[in-house]
Structure 1
Amino acid sequence: MTDVVALGELLIDFTCIGSDADGYPTMAAHPGGAPANYLAALARFGAHTALLGKVGEDTFGRLLIGTLRKAGVETRGIAADAATFTTLAFVTLDSTGNREFSFARKPGADTCLSFEELDLSLLDEAKVLHFGTLSLTNEPARSATRKAVEYAKAKGKLISYDPNLRKPLWSSLEEARTQLLWGLSQADVVKISDEEVEFLFGLGPEEGARHILSQYGVKLVFVTCGGEGCVFKNQNAEGRVPALSGITVVDTTGAGDIFGGSAMWKLLSLGKSPETLNADELRQVVRFACTSAGLSTTRPGGISSVPAYSEVIRRLEEE
């Protein structure tokens, strides 16, 4: 049985590693895409995972599929399209390692995924469906996402959601807000950033977590706050866990996705419904996820930066 299926983008992140005399960036290609990073963390820790998505029938598409296979992620749900290119994201970093994105995606293959191309047998086998909002920016991927969520909910699957807001990809911020809120209305478990909470509700992390839990039917909320750690809340408990300390940040690309995948792995290992977890169990989940995500920032890339389970445990023991 598959533990988690994710639907969405599989792409190449071009990350700046320097610049030439004229100021043009020198860039390194890394496999990525939020759902792929999320699954890579789960697979790294031993979960059975699969991706539903679409790449171009090109060199980058073939490399990405090979990378996922090597990472232990099932790839039979990935379509290849000869008519479009694999999506490319260009990530420049400031002095603290924070990211600014631009995309080659007009269209990118990931936006061209249709519901008819989805391997629904993967959803039938899964415990969890995870999705974000990059697949909601354009048709036909938007309809494919909505129908897949409807299908999974009808089958009684746990729905996991990460808004993963990328403002340059939306026709308007109002459209982005509408689609992000739709995602919240569908989810059982939400991983959302403090910046996304501010964008949607004008609230801080704690107030935002309470609002999401009370207004959207969500069972468990994680609000990630970068270097300030993570706020968590379900019906039983709420609190904050600090970020991993004593590290040198190289690249934050994929850190939020790796947090989400790591948290889901820990949730599955506990074997309890998210709304029933107590404060100690939730702190255990968030400490593991914060440690995993923190370690990932000490190396470049998304999929390639997921730490080994033994490294996470060793660091937890040190803390």
Structure 2
Amino acid sequence: MEKKYDVVALGEFLIDFTPAGNTDSGMKLFEQNPGGAPVNMLTAAGKAGLKTAFIGKVGDDMHGNFLVETAKQAGIDTRGIVVDNTVFTTLAFVTLDENGEREFSFARKPGADTMLCYKEVDADLLRDTKVFHIGSLSLTDEPARTTTFQAVKEAKKYGAVISYDPNYRAPLWDSRENAMERMKSILPFVDIMKLSDEETALLTPFSDPEEAAEYLLGSGVRLVAVTLGSEGVLICSRDGSRKVPGFVSHVVDTTGAGDSFWGAFVSQLVRADKRLEEFSIDELAECARYGNAVASLCVEKRGGLRSIPEESETFERLTVK
């Protein structure tokens, strides 16, 4: 049966306040950037022509209204976004080092994203999508944690490919051990997943990317991508594994790099209109190269969602050998 949506995602939609210089008196200035890994992922998929929708909660405040409008401008269907006047939109304050790497401080006690209840979810979105994508930030607190599991089960029942990006943020968990347990808990439902080389030891008994990927494949995941920073990505499926080099970038801010890679990669899977088991490792490597090109452009600008390139820019980057 034909599905209305290519990718639907559930999770956090928030403001990343990103450093933007200093005042004349030396005080830091922060730039209001729309963010949240699932929405970044959808934006990258949408740039490749996919039909997308988002499920989540924001506050009925200046930031929440800004986020809803931003999603609309990005071509994301917003019917699944709940605007709630009893909670405040989640905020993340980002600091960058000289290499563009980030540290986060969150205003989320609670944040609107953690307060999404399943009764507020538009179930038609779950039943009418080819891919259903989640991250791990919706697993940190109730009621969003239970909502996430219920949504995954419903989407899977109706034939969606379940996509997962753990996206570990230490300040949002009460302990590393608790984070590991909860991030692993969703794995039995997952078909495809992306994790970074810094997250392998959180999801598996191994820190080595190849060993971690093999472990996840053995646990039932059908396709695994381990991002390796500037070195590219390791793609693993039951057809084999391949390290796909990245592109040279002038890094300004790494926010959204992994999200944009994954949205772009998944877009190529959907465009191919094939079952996962029909992809050869060569074909998956080509999908990954496309994703690497998108990510390499994303990191050359500040912020996450707004830094994701147009497809014409991606095609231009792909011509670089």
Q: TM-score, normalised by structure 1?
A: 0.97
2:7 to 4, 8, 26: 4
Question: 159-168 or 184-193, which moves further after superposition?
Answer: 184-193
**Cross-structure match for 1:157:** 160
Q: CA deviation at 1:72?
A: 0.2
**Cross-structure match for 1:308:** 310
C-alpha distance after superposition, 1:125-163 (max 9, x if no partner): 111110011111000000100100111111121000000
Q: CA deviation at 1:22?
A: 7.7
One-letter identity of the residue aligned with 1:270: A
Is 2:245 aligned against 1:242? yes
Q: CA deviation at 1:27?
A: 0.9
> Number of aligned pairs?
317
- What are the equivalent positions in structure 2 for 1:92-241 lying under 5 Å apart? 92-200=95-203, 201-215=205-219, 217-241=220-244
Distance across 1 between alignment mates of 2:230 and 2:280: 25
| Contact kept in structure 2, 1:19 and 1:26, CA below 8 Å | yes
Distance across 2 between alignment mates of 1:253 and 1:23: 25
1:48 to 10, 26, 51: 51
- What are the equivalent positions in structure 2 for 1:78-93 lying under 5 Å apart? 78-93=81-96
- What are the equivalent positions in structure 2 for 1:264-275 lying under 5 Å apart? 264-275=266-277
**Cross-structure match for 1:27:** 30
Distance across 2 between alignment mates of 1:202 and 1:20: 46
| Contact kept in structure 2, 1:14 and 1:30, CA below 8 Å | yes
| Contact kept in structure 1, 2:235 and 2:242, CA below 8 Å | yes
- What are the equivalent positions in structure 2 for 1:53-64 lying under 5 Å apart? 53-64=56-67
Percent identity at matched positions?
48
Distance across 1 between alignment mates of 2:163 and 2:177: 23
Q: Secondary structure at the residue paired with 2:142?
A: coil
Distance across 2 between alignment mates of 1:138 and 1:220: 27
Distance across 1 between alignment mates of 2:43 and 2:228: 22
Distance across 2 between alignment mates of 1:240 and 1:23: 44
| Contact kept in structure 2, 1:236 and 1:276, CA below 8 Å | no
| Contact kept in structure 1, 2:13 and 2:39, CA below 8 Å | yes
Q: CA deviation at 1:190?
A: 0.4
**Cross-structure match for 1:296:** 298
Distance across 1 between alignment mates of 2:198 and 2:25: 33
Distance across 2 between alignment mates of 1:281 and 1:274: 11
**Cross-structure match for 2:77:** 74
One-letter identity of the residue aligned with 2:301: R
| Contact kept in structure 2, 1:231 and 1:238, CA below 8 Å | yes
C-alpha distance after superposition, 1:220-250 (max 9, x if no partner): 00000111110010000201011111x2101
Q: CA deviation at 1:41?
A: 0.6
Q: Secondary structure at the residue paired with 2:294?
A: helix
**Cross-structure match for 2:282:** 280
Distance across 2 between alignment mates of 1:180 and 1:24: 37
Q: CA deviation at 1:24?
A: 4.5
One-letter identity of the residue aligned with 2:98: S
Is 2:319 aligned against 1:317? yes
Q: CA deviation at 1:31?
A: 0.4
Distance across 1 between alignment mates of 2:267 and 2:126: 18
Question: 72-81 or 170-179, which moves further after superposition?
Answer: 170-179
| Contact kept in structure 1, 2:237 and 2:281, CA below 8 Å | no
Distance across 2 between alignment mates of 1:111 and 1:205: 30
- Alignment root-mean-square deviation, CA: 1.3
Q: Secondary structure at the residue paired with 1:43?
A: helix
Distance across 1 between alignment mates of 2:231 and 2:186: 25
C-alpha distance after superposition, 1:3-47 (max 9, x if no partner): 110000110000112245886532111001000100011111110
1:13 to 9, 16, 36: 16
Q: Secondary structure at the residue paired with 2:226?
A: strand
Distance across 2 between alignment mates of 1:225 and 1:21: 39
One-letter identity of the residue aligned with 2:208: G
| Contact kept in structure 2, 1:163 and 1:183, CA below 8 Å | no
